[in-house]
Amino acid sequence: MTSNQSLFERAQRVIPGGVNSPVRAFRAVGGTPRFIARAQGPYMWDAEGTRYIDYIGSWGPMILGHGHPAVLDAVQKAALDGFSFGAPTEREVELAEEIIRHVPSVEQVRLVSSGTEAGMSAIRLARGATGRSKIVKFEGCYHGHADALLVKAGSGLATFGFPTSAGVPPEVVQHTLVLEYNNLEQIEEVFKTQGDEIACVMIEPIAGNMNFVRAQVPFVKRIAELCQQHGALFVFDEVMTGFRVALGGAQSVYAKLIPGFQPDISVFGKVIGGGMPLAAFGTSRKIMQQLAPLGPVYQAGTLSGNPVATACGLATLKLISQPGFYDTLGAKTQAVVDGLTAAARAAGVPFVGDSQGGMFGFFFTDSLPQNYGVVMATDKDRFNRFFHGMLERGVYLAPALYEAGFVSAAHTDADIAATIAAAHDVMATLHSA
């Protein structure tokens, strides 16, 4: 039998760090990464045959669980017709229509292959549409690894403690203004002094790359007002939250709390591809007319709208749009958070959790953090010990404090009960930490 350790040693000889995305290396938590051989429903099996209850779900896309029969059937049929054409297909039109049907702020979308590609394209579109250069992002929010956005990002960069990335010249990020998440004073001040130069404000409405941190309602409301007053565009990065926290994404959650709220541009990924490489950005027809071939803002991609990926995404969206889907998913996710919280309280361990739809997060502290600085000050050592304790008991959580977790429709009551039982065992060992 091939072991995880032998695979990791082999991988490190041919792949930097032995992984193709940094957080997978387990550097933040220590130990050997698990090399996954297969997955089905809410479970993954590693190279050694060990089964895990999966709470990362490919970092969000597997909202139906792994290998859902209807999705698998759609992918297999599409593959028989061809992997890629480099030409338009009816299915990409259908997927665009399905996204637009559920997201009122979007009148047109452009399909791409990754969240990074969608995020950088949205920024380019905002700059092209406004004729301005400056963009605002928030510390701890991650919008992909495009140069202009790798400034105090969360996720992998937070995991390794780097405030930015090498290889990004200072002049590339000179127009990127980085503010503190949920800080009203800072956003007021930057618009007061530079509002007429700002092309857009980009935000993760529920930041999933500094674990799970919500943008406060007054904060979102005020950004929307300032953008409108100054002619800037408000970009919601819903690569993680789109179709994951609600059928209409996080923007539908905020729209219920802020009358008339809509972002100007939306970025989607993960769930809309159902686990295959697919993402999108969209906005009003007027702004989208700035894109080539109609306008001067250039964007292109050989595999954009890939016929197999769109089949996967379309099948997924049709299934999750069924009545009651999110009520059930949200209840499962809340049960996980409530169970973890109860386990911590029983052990006398400081702990707090939060969730929305099928996305959740937790911290070993007494109150929910509101920004990146507070997240960075939470108990990393205790988290690492908890992670490994759960992993040893067959529960696969994100291998870094700075990542959100995900529940799928395939998780059963028994899976959740087993997770909570494991948490009680592990929390008891953390009391003295």
DSSP conformation letters of 80-115: HH-S--SS--HHHHHHHHHHHHH-TT-SEEEEES-H
pTM across the whole model? 0.94
Q: Do 328 and 304 belong together in one domain?
A: no
With contact defined as beta carbons under 8 Å apart, do 347 and 386 qualify?
no
Q: Catalytic residue numbers?
A: 142, 237, 270
The answer to whether the CB of 123 falls within 8 A of the CB of 269 is no
Q: Are residues 129 and 171 in the same domain?
A: yes
Task: Tell me what pLDDT residue 86 has.
Answer: 94
Backbone angles phi, psi at 132, to 5 degrees: -115, 165
Query: Which pair of tokens denotes residue 72?
Result: 């698998």
pLDDT of residue 160: 39
> Nearest-CA neighbor of 27 among 142, 126, 125, 161?
161
Record the tokens describing residue 148, joined without a space: 């202009």
pLDDT value of residue 164 = 63
Q: Is residue 92 located within the same domain as residue 223?
A: yes
Cβ-count burial 208-237 (b if 16+ within 10 Å, e if not): bbbbbbbbeeebbbebbebbeebebbbbbb
Long-range contacts of 251-259 (CB under 8 A, 24+ apart): 251/103, 251/105, 251/205, 252/103, 253/205, 253/356, 254/205, 254/217, 254/220, 255/104, 257/217, 258/217, 258/220, 258/221, 258/224
Residue 74, pLDDT score: 98
Cα torsion 273, 15, 155, 359: sign: positive
Is residue 315 located within the same domain as residue 418? no
Q: Of 286, 320, 354, which one is at a domain's C-terminal end?
A: 320
Of 320, 349, 380, which residue sits at a domain end?
A: 320
The answer to whether the beta carbons of residues 54 and 415 sit under 8 Å apart is no
Q: Which residues contact 58 (CB under 8 A, 6 or more apart)?
A: 270, 275
Report the CATH number that the domain containing residue 60 is assigned in CATH: 3.90.1150.10
Q: What is the dihedral of CA 72, 75, 78, 79, to 10 degrees?
A: -100
- Residues 61 and 80 placed together within one structural domain of the fold: no
Q: Does 255 lie in the same domain as 137?
A: yes
Residues 40 and 90 in one domain: no
Residue 78 and residue 51 share a domain: no
Count: domains in the chain: 2
What was the pLDDT predicted at 170? 74
Q: 117 and 83, same structural domain? A: yes
**What is the chain's alpha carbon radius of gyration, rounded to the nearest angstrom?**
21
Last residue within a domain, chosen from 261, 292, 320: 320
CATH of the domain at 133: 3.40.640.10
Same domain? For 314 and 386 the reply is: no
Q: Provide the domain limits for residue 408.
A: 4-67+323-430
How would you list the strands of the sheet with 359-363, edge to edge? 352-356, 359-363, 405-406
Note the pLDDT of residue 174. 81
Using 70 as the pLDDT threshold, list the residues of the chain that sit under it: 152-164, 432-433
Main-chain dihedrals φ then ψ at residue 156, nearest 5 degrees: -60, -35
- Looking at the fold, whether 311 and 346 belong to one and the same domain comes out as no
Answer yes or no: do 298 and 330 share one domain. no
